[in-house]
Amino acid sequence: MPPLGVDTPFGFSIDLSFWREIITWPSGELIRALFAIVGWAVLILVFFYMGSQLWLEYRRTVKYTRKWKWVLLAVDVPPLFIQTPKAVEQIFAHLSGALITPNIGQKYWMGKKQKWFSFEIVSIEGYIQFLIRTESEFRDLVEAAVYAQYTEAEITEVEDYMGNIPGHYPHPEYEIFGVEFALEENEAFPIRTYPSFEYNLSKDAVFSDPMAAILENFSRIQHGENFWMQIVIEPTSNKWKEKGIQLVKDVIAGTAHGGGHGGHGGGHGSVLLSKAADIPATVMKEAFNIWHWNFESESGHGEEHHEEVRKISDLTPGEKTTLEAIEEKISKIGFKSKIRALYSARKDIFNPSRCMDGLVGALNQFHIIGKNAIVPHHTTQVHYAFKQWREAHHKHHFMTAFTKRKIKALGNPYVLNIEELATIWHFPLPFVKTPLLQKAGAKRAEPPVELPVEQLEGPLKRVRPAVPKSTPPTPPEPPPAEILYG
């Protein structure tokens, strides 16, 4: 076999005979040779990635996030104020303005990262309240978004309710049960949204508010119990829509499948391992393709493969519906999302089935067969070996994630668009009769100056602005002696 060389513009040539010979080896020897040649490079890439992530986390903690100040806002709307979930959809669209795109210097030196929001529903011994948690920088943005759609709403800053229960478990008096939810299929597949809950019994359309089934579980809470749900969202760019575009192509080609890409990962560790595992697989795949191409080109047995291309007219009615649903989802703004629910109570009355099972069932109303669903994928309950130790470990991590509203803890986030978010979290319509649901009692107006303000009703304590300490008046200087004695 004649030597294979490549001439370069620098006056010397590169001998590629070794590589032409090595790609003709059997697959087993080829894999071992490639690992010996480039395996060290893979390890360097893995350690470099791990080091960059540790450095990034350090800079974020030291330089950026430690200066954040979170505020928790209680939102009350008038009981007879009629607005569809479309209004809350516009609130989420408004909050997309908080998106930032830091450059490399801002990200790796200043530690700058995207801030997020948490939309919550809490039932504290049966007292139900809608809450929004945000960093103080975006408080005006949140209030403007709410007032733009609910002009008579009342927004009050309250203390964080997480201080109502112990923070560490096992505890001698209290017990908790937590569930984190994820998407069952690829995040590009949509869930059932509020337009699908309209139906006609007569000439007028009737809206069956999905929030009624959700709030019913919060109304079951009794004295000594707490039931809380949070939807943590983070603004993101439109890159997630590329998955939807690829999924549309796969549906047309007939190769689409779910696979649970919506958030069943295990956080940073699983992401790191998956990326590290992909590197050698990609190298071997490319080497095999080169070897296969070289063998066919030298032997002359290469054949052209013509795959039959499907047309849109060849799709089944179900595939066409799925195609339209995916295109509808990616046509709207999306947020990285995470849904969690936490039940806590005294041990003598601890009964998570009272509300948690009903919430899982209420979220099942958003399931569309062949598309997507919201399903539990992580709980604080464990079985089998080392149950007590593992359960305490799970509860600790869950409480940390719930208290700090972490979006990447326990599993990877998934993308929900503004219509899906407004379906899961919105202010109920007036016909939804939920007892002890806090609502605005009167039209919002500016109070007279120095008018005493009553405490917010219910167990949530209102945060009062700090009053600066008054400095004592400076005593007057004594008059000169010549004045006193003439």
Q: What pLDDT, on the 0 to 100 scale, is given for residue 272? A: 43
Check pLDDT > 70 for residue 303: no
> From CA 280, how far away is CA 45, in angstroms rounded?
11
What is the residue type of 260? G
Long-range contacts of residues 162-171, Cβ cutoff 8 Å, at least 24 apart:
162/402, 162/403, 164/124, 164/226, 164/459, 165/226, 165/344, 167/399, 167/403, 168/396, 168/399, 169/392, 169/395, 169/396, 169/399, 170/388, 170/392, 170/395
Residue 437 — very low, low, confident or very high, per pLDDT cuts 50/70/90? low
Long-range contacts of residues 64-69, Cβ cutoff 8 Å, at least 24 apart:
64/110, 64/111, 64/112, 64/113, 65/111, 65/113, 68/115, 68/135, 68/136, 69/135, 69/136
Each residue's pLDDT tens digit, 133-148: 999 999 999 999 999 9
Check pLDDT > 50 for residue 161: yes
Each residue's pLDDT tens digit, 372-393: 999 998 999 877 777 788 888 8
Task: Supply the DSSP string of 312-373, one letter for each residue.
Answer: GGGS-HHHHHHHHHHHHHHTS-EEEEEEEEEEEEEGGG--GGGTHHHHHHHHGGG--TTS--
Q: Where are the domains of the chain?
A: 69-261+315-424
Q: Give the mean model confidence (pLDDT) for residues 183-209.
A: 83
**286 contacts: CB under 8 Å, gap ≥ 6:** none
Lowest-pLDDT range, 10-14, 92-96, 241-245? 10-14
CA 345 to chain centre: 27
Check pLDDT > 50 for residue 261: no
> From CA 403, how far away is CA 163, in angstroms rounded?
9
Q: Give the mean model confidence (pLDDT) for residues 250-255.
A: 76
Q: What pLDDT, on the 0 to 100 scale, is given for residue 143? A: 96
Q: How many residues does this entry show for the chain?
A: 486
Residue 388: HSE in the Cβ half-sphere, 13 Å Cα cutoff: 2
Q: What pLDDT, on the 0 to 100 scale, is given for residue 250? A: 82
Lowest-pLDDT range, 313-322, 392-401, 460-469? 460-469
Q: Which of 159-163, 246-250, 318-322: highest mean pLDDT? A: 159-163
Check pLDDT > 80 for residue 304: no
Residue 408 — very low, low, confident or very high, per pLDDT cuts 50/70/90? confident
Q: What pLDDT, on the 0 to 100 scale, is given for residue 311? A: 67
- Retrieve residue 12's tokens: 């010397």
Q: Are 408 and 270 in contact (CB under 8 A)?
A: no
Q: What pLDDT, on the 0 to 100 scale, is given for residue 82? A: 73
Q: Tell me, what DSSP letter sits at residue 197?
A: G
Q: For Cα atoms 371, 377, 383, give the angle at the middle one, nearest 5 degrees.
A: 145
Q: For Cα atoms 92, 338, 319, give the angle at the middle one, nearest 5 degrees.
A: 80
Check pLDDT > 90 for residue 123: yes
- Say what percent of the chain tops pLDDT 90: 38
Each residue's pLDDT tens digit, 207-225: 788 999 999 999 989 898 9
Q: Are 153 and 77 in contact (CB under 8 A)?
A: yes
Give the H/E segment covering residue 14: strand 13-15
Q: Tell me, what DSSP letter sits at residue 162?
A: G
> What is the DSSP pairing of strand 198-200 with strand 205-207?
antiparallel
Tell me, yes or no, if the pTM score tops 0.75. Answer: no
